[in-house]
Each structure stands twice: as C-alpha cells, then as structure tokens.
Amino acid sequence: MSLLKILTYPDPILKRPSLPVKGNPQDLKRLVEDMFQTMYQAPGVGLAAPQVGRNIRLFVVDVSSHQENAGPMVFINPEILEGEGLIIWEEGCLSVPDMLVEVSRMEKVLMAGQDLSGKRFQIKAEGLLAIALQHELDHLDGRLIIDKVSSLKRELYRRRRLKEAARASA
Ligand code: ZN
C-alpha cells in the first residue's frame, strides 16, 4: 500500500465530473486500498477518487470514529435513490484545507452502488454517514464545499491557497 497525494483547491481535476466505472472493479482493488490508507492517515472520514487525481465514480468512507455500525465502505458508481429531511453541518474537506463550511444536506438517504466485486447493494444512512455520502458524491460531480460559500469568500480563499502553494514550491 502507498499514500496518495491529495489534490487541493483550485486544482482543476477536482472540478471535473467523473466518469462511471466500467469493466471489472477488481482492477481498482489496489487504488481502493491506497485510498483507505491515505484517508486514515490524513485523517478524514471520506475520500473520493478525483481527490487523488482519478476522475472515476468511486469513493471510500469510514465514519466509525463518530458513529456506530459504520465501518469502512467502498462505493462504485453510487447514486442516491431516496432522501428526506434536512441537516446542517459544518463540513471540512481534505481538498479544501483550513476551511469549514456550513452545508445543508438531506438527513437520511438511500444510496445504491457497487462493491469491489461488482455486486450492487443499497444502504440506508443517516447522521454523519448520510452527510459523508452526499459530500463524497458531490466530489464525483465536481462539487466542493467551497462552491457553497459566497463568491467573495471563495475568491479570497482561492488567492490564499495560490499564495500558500507558491510559498510551498519556493
Ligand atoms: Zn471532500
């Protein structure tokens, strides 16, 4: 296993809509293992493939540090079938460092996806898991929490990030 580089805003790969996974998902086993390791090390509770430079519809989550009955999970080609309620949570993102954004999400969701063997499954989620699933699904559509703040706040953040990136590479 190896740690992957987590891309950060404003990297254009994060804005690109990701493509469905076709063929044998087993080929993604290594990537998934690396994504879990990268996520735990960060640490974070979710990581989507575009965050590590792959524009495919795949993410991993593990909210077991915050919620019972929620261990490591892999979602390939995920979609939300049903949702209800409203919950507002201050979210962070490994690709949007040093920023917390209040985001409103559906409180409960029914999500479908495929696992690494290609088998389709559904999961009912609520609380932090429901939030994490919607946050990661957003990544696959090129949406970030920073898109949910005012354009002025976003521009100031973008400049700060570019300055920090320039300093880091100097
Ligand atoms: Zn994120």
Task: Give dist(CA 83, CA 51) in Å, integer.
Answer: 25
CA atoms within 13 A on the CB side of 94: 24
DSSP 75: E
Distance of CA 155 from the midpoint of ligand 1 (Å): 19
**Tens place of pLDDT per residue across the chain (170 aa):** 799 999 999 999 999 999 999 988 888 999 999 999 999 999 999 999 999 999 999 999 999 988 877 799 999 999 999 999 999 999 999 999 999 999 999 999 999 999 999 999 999 999 999 999 999 999 999 999 999 999 999 999 999 999 988 888 87
Q: Which residues are designated catalytic?
A: 136
Could you give the C-alpha distances from 161 to 141, 151, 156, in angstroms and in order? 22, 15, 9
Strand order in the sheet with 58-61: 46-48, 58-61, 73-84, 108-114, 120-126
Angle at 21 between CA 128 and CA 66, to 5 degrees: 15
What is the whole-number distance in angstroms between the Cα of residue 38 and the centre of ligand 1?
Answer: 13
DSSP reduced 3-state for 25? helix
Is the pTM for the entire model greater than 0.85? yes
Q: Which of 14, 131, 114 is nearest to 66 (CA)?
A: 131
* Joined tokens for residue 122: 């559904």
For residue 153, how far is its CA from the centre of ligand 1 (angstroms)?
A: 18
Q: How far apart are CA 11 and CA 169, in angstroms?
A: 15
Q: What is the 120 CA–ligand 1 centroid distance (Å)?
A: 24
> Given this model, what pLDDT does residue 65 score?
87
DSSP label of 4 = P
pLDDT for position 169: 83
3 state DSSP class of 64: coil
Question: Would you say the C-alpha torsion 14, 18, 23, 25 has a positive or negative sign?
Answer: positive
